[in-house]
């Protein structure tokens, strides 16, 4: 069964400083005029299977993706040099918070430690945590423009929605894209064919498809390596239809829209 996809609203922030390369990229991109659909491949949690199975597959096909890392991950702490290389190769290191706090009371959340239960956190605590994570990532990749993916797509702390308080630090928050523009699918045990059917079945107004993976060939919420690679091959074959890039680059290239991220609790969580 297809994993639930999430429809939400994009954060666009003014006053951020972009590198010359990022500005040139945004100005030169004509993907909407060419009638293409943007595909954002992303991978959460900084997992060993991503280092071993995903990065080589992406690089072999000259595809760029976003990796939403958790600094507490053993594979992040022990392989900082490798993550730095991944960023130099053109992939994005996205912010996924320091501690991966989620709502522990939800079904299937037995793995959430008491100290990482979002319902016991405050908005200010999450702002501080995410700010520190941004500082750490800047030390790794030197980037100042970044995107964020909320752990578990949860957003409510004991005293409010923390996404509204951290949005000024990012050009976009994944899972908060406008529902009349973007969709998100989080595959688990899906075949390439199932994911492709999801892609090609979207209405014409959908111009951004977020495909959010976790484990590939291992770890958790697993997608088989062969199925993942078959999807990549499909996207390469159909470059005339799809623009595959980091979520950061895609959001840099999309002009602001008046309906994006109104000041309300719009993201599912």
Give the CATH number for residue 78: 3.20.20.370
Q: What is the mean pLDDT of residues 104-131?
A: 95
Q: Which contiguous run of DSSP H or E holds residue 225? A: helix 225-237
Domain membership flag for residue 7 = no
pLDDT category at 26 given cuts 50, 70, 90 is: very low
| pLDDT value, residue 61 | 98
| pLDDT value, residue 6 | 32
Domain membership flag for residue 260 = no
Domain membership flag for residue 40 = yes
Domain membership flag for residue 261 = no
> In whole angstroms, what is the distance from residue 207 CA to residue 29 CA?
14
Domain of residue 209, residue span: 20-253
Whether the Cβ atoms of residue 97 and residue 133 lie closer than 8 Å to each other: yes
Could you tell me the CA-to-CA distances from 135 to 96, 98, 162 in Å, in that order? 13, 11, 18
| pLDDT value, residue 263 | 43
| pLDDT value, residue 158 | 95
Matching residue, tokens 């939400």: 8
Q: What is the mean pLDDT of residues 59-67?
A: 98
Whole-prediction pTM: 0.86
pLDDT category at 255 given cuts 50, 70, 90 is: low
| Tally of domains in the chain | 1
**Mean pLDDT lowest for which of 18-22, 144-148, 218-222?**
18-22
pLDDT category at 244 given cuts 50, 70, 90 is: very high
pLDDT category at 261 given cuts 50, 70, 90 is: low
Q: What are phi and psi of 238, to 5 degrees?
A: -110, 40
Return the closest-CA partner of residue 86 out of 114, 64, 53. 64
Q: What is the mean pLDDT of residues 89-114?
A: 95
Whether the Cβ atoms of residue 66 and residue 92 lie closer than 8 Å to each other: yes
Q: What is the mean pLDDT of residues 112-123?
A: 95
Q: Is the pLDDT at 27 greater than 80, yes or no?
A: no
| Chain mean pLDDT for the chain | 86
Helix (H, G, I), strand (E, B) or coil at 106: coil
| pLDDT value, residue 19 | 46
């Amino acid at each position: 069964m297809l994993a639930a996809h999430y429809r939400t609203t994009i954060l666009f922030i003014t006053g951020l400083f972009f590198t010359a390369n990022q500005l040139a990229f945004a100005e030169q991109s004509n993907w909407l005029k060419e009638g293409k659909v943007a595909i954002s491949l992303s991978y959460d949690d900084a997992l060993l299977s991503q280092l071993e199975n995903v990065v080589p597959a992406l690089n072999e096909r000259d595809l760029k993706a976003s990796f939403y890392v958790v600094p507490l991950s053993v594979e992040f702490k022990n392989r900082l040099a490798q993550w730095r290389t991944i960023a130099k190769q053109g992939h994005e290191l996205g912010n996924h918070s320091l501690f991966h706090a989620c709502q522990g009371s939800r079904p299937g959340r037995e793995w959430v430690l008491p100290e990482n239960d979002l319902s016991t956190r405050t908005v200010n605590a999450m702002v501080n945590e995410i700010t520190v994570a941004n500082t750490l990532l800047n030390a790794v990749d030197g980037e100042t423009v970044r995107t964020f993916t909320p752990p578990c797509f949860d957003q409510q702390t004991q005293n409010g929605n923390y996404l509204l308080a951290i949005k000024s630090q990012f050009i976009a928050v994944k899972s908060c894209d406008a529902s009349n523009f973007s969709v998100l699918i989080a595959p688990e045990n899906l075949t390439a064919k199932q994911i492709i059917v999801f892609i090609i079945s979207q209405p014409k107004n959908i111009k951004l498809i977020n495909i959010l993976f976790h484990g590939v060939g291992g770890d958790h919420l697993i997608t088989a390596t062969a199925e993942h690679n078959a999807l990549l091959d499909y996207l390469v074959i159909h470059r005339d239809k799809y623009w595959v890039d980091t979520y950061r680059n895609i959001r840099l290239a999309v002009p602001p829209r008046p309906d994006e991220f109104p000041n309300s609790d719009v993201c599912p969580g």
